[in-house]
Structure 1
Amino acid sequence: MDVTQRLVSRSCPFCQNSAEDAQVLSYGNSEWPMIECNKCHFVYLKRAPVYERLSEEFAWEKTSETERQIREEREPVKQGLSRAFKHFRQKVLKRNKLPELIEKYIPGGRVLDIGCAAGGLLATLPAKYQPYGIEVSKALAQAASEVVEPRGGSIMHDNALNGIQKLPENHFAGVLMSAFLEHEVEPNGLLQGVAKVLQPGGVVIIKVPNYGSWNRKIRAEKWCGFRLPDHVNYFTPENLEALIVRQGMKVVQFGLADRQPTSDNMWIVAAK
């Protein structure tokens, strides 16, 4: 891909088939067309911003706030109920899936959070973990550095694909990608890099929107998983698992509770 321009024209991230004959879906628009590969049926944005634009122009802290405002104006009641349920689940029921998976599958050691934002998750890791991160937003990378450096960790300000290639092999006990892989222009290449930097037996924990969910089919263009141009890949349980296994990793948790058809998101854990 030529990343010297402001836009990247993409072939299918899953099978590398040309985008020229793909089916154009109604979920996109003229600026950010969404297409379905006519060979493997993977859904993705035909064009995406180059990595450099993600550092500032399309930085997560900017686009997420814009998206929140749009959803609040369009569906204020639904958004209020969604916030209340999230608060109830995390504060009252004390359920937060990512910390539970980290504790279950990563006994300790170096943990890499790809797309770590301001380091909020890394700050909550117990002392047995040494926190590291990769973050494309300059402002968020600086904030995350202040969080992890006192604990002996570090943050790399770079896009994920470049960053992962700079890290040593067999180095991390765990890699986290919570709500990140849907943003990555080269998901196959990034997962190859993840497999490289994981220690033998190390795990990657991934959360992505579930394009195969009933909610997406019912809510159509109003589905919360659609964010243009931030979300460039739209995974189903089948192609997410296949993409991970392709890198030589073994799926260790991906049951029905992790990919409920009624849930907008899905979780998968794989080991090297």
Structure 2
Amino acid sequence: MDVSQRVVSRNCPHCNASAQASDVLPYGNEEWPMVQCSSCKFVYLKRAPVYERLSEEFAWEKTSTQEREAREQREPVKQGLSRAFKHFRQKVLKRNKLPELIAKYIPGGHVLDIGCAGGGLLAALPAQYTPHGIEVSKALAEQANAVVAPRGGSIMHDNALNGIARLPADHYAGVLMSAFLEHEVEPLGLLQGVCRVLKPGGVVIIKVPNYGSWNRKIRQEKWCGFRLPDHVNYFTPGDLEDMVTRAGLKVVQFGLADRQPTSDNMWIVAAR
């Protein structure tokens, strides 16, 4: 496969303005240039890997390990502190936002996890949920299917955009996209697909890195939200809310606690 077949060149995924007039940012590189749209100011990778490369070459289980090892070498003290804080928050304070949001907004029914990896989140869902997923990594899709099949669920091995188009309309009580939308080459199209497959009143719960965070502005190129070429979209709170509503969804939770400028991540809940 030649280079032209291994990457996709992108216009702005937020407003579709040509990338040619965009400002090049210092956070990318020659192979994966990061730009800011001259029209709407959205930040994104000008080029991204084609979906086929995400199935194995850039599969999450490979790139996440590589990224973790690289960070350990660059900043071992910071990474150690980060792990300790995460453990304290989840094990001691018993705070894990996603299960709380699921319990609050999805009473039961069919739940779809887009980018479900090995099915760990789906396996942890209580019995009132029937777990389903879409996963582009072949190895992880097979692993996840073994987890959900005994509960009457299913896993689709495909990229998210193709996968969502193959699913029935008005079917899911909830859709989960935790740390996924930043990876999607066509995020607006995916959100529109999510709107189609949700039942009336069904919700989507989204977590993405917060490009507008103070930490990103302070740490610059060392910010943990930069991952090339995995993360192709970089959302500010305003960008995220605007794209969600343009897809036909109604925001039901996106308060200051969900998008704190001191946090590297933000959460939004939207309903059909």
TM-score band by shorter chain is: over 0.9
Match in the other structure for 1:202: 202
Match in the other structure for 1:192: 192
Q: CA deviation at 1:65?
A: 0.3
Match in the other structure for 2:87: 87
- Identity across aligned pairs (percent)? 80
Counterparts of 1:242 and 1:22 in 2: how far apart (Å)?
20
Would you say 1:147 and 2:161 are equivalent positions? no
Q: Which amino acid aligns with 2:151?
A: R
Q: Which amino acid aligns with 2:92?
A: V
Length-normalised TM-score, structure 2: 0.98
Q: Gapped runs of 5+ residues in structure 2?
A: none
Counterparts of 2:4 and 2:230 in 1: how far apart (Å)?
19
Match in the other structure for 1:177: 177
Mean Cα deviation higher: 239-248 or 122-131: 239-248
The 3-state SS of whatever aligns with 1:174 is strand
Q: Which amino acid aligns with 1:57?
A: E
- Which of structure 1's runs of 4+ aligned residues deviate more than 2 A? none
Q: How does 1:117-266 map to 2 (within 5 A)?
A: 117-266=117-266
Counterparts of 1:264 and 1:196 in 2: how far apart (Å)?
30
Q: CA deviation at 1:248?
A: 1.7
Counterparts of 1:265 and 1:247 in 2: how far apart (Å)?
21
Cα deviation per residue 1:156-206 (whole Å; 9 max; x = unaligned)?
Answer: 000000000000000000000000000000001000000000000000000
Cα deviation per residue 1:200-242 (whole Å; 9 max; x = unaligned)?
Answer: 0000000000000000000000000000000000000001000
Match in the other structure for 2:56: 56
The 3-state SS of whatever aligns with 1:268 is strand
Match in the other structure for 2:103: 103
Match in the other structure for 1:11: 11
Counterparts of 1:4 and 1:262 in 2: how far apart (Å)?
40
Counterparts of 1:112 and 1:146 in 2: how far apart (Å)?
16
The 3-state SS of whatever aligns with 2:162 is helix
Length-normalised TM-score, structure 1: 0.98
Q: How many residues align?
A: 270
Q: Which amino acid aligns with 1:9?
A: S
Q: CA deviation at 1:249?
A: 1.0
Q: CA deviation at 1:133?
A: 0.0
Counterparts of 1:18 and 1:197 in 2: how far apart (Å)?
30
Q: Which amino acid aligns with 1:29?
A: N
Q: Which amino acid aligns with 1:42?
A: F
Cα deviation per residue 1:241-265 (whole Å; 9 max; x = unaligned)?
Answer: 0000112211000000000000000
Q: CA deviation at 1:4?
A: 7.9
Cα deviation per residue 1:17-75 (whole Å; 9 max; x = unaligned)?
Answer: 00001000000000100000000000000000000000000000000000000000000
Q: Gapped runs of 5+ residues in structure 1?
A: none
Q: How does 1:20-99 map to 2 (within 5 A)?
A: 20-99=20-99
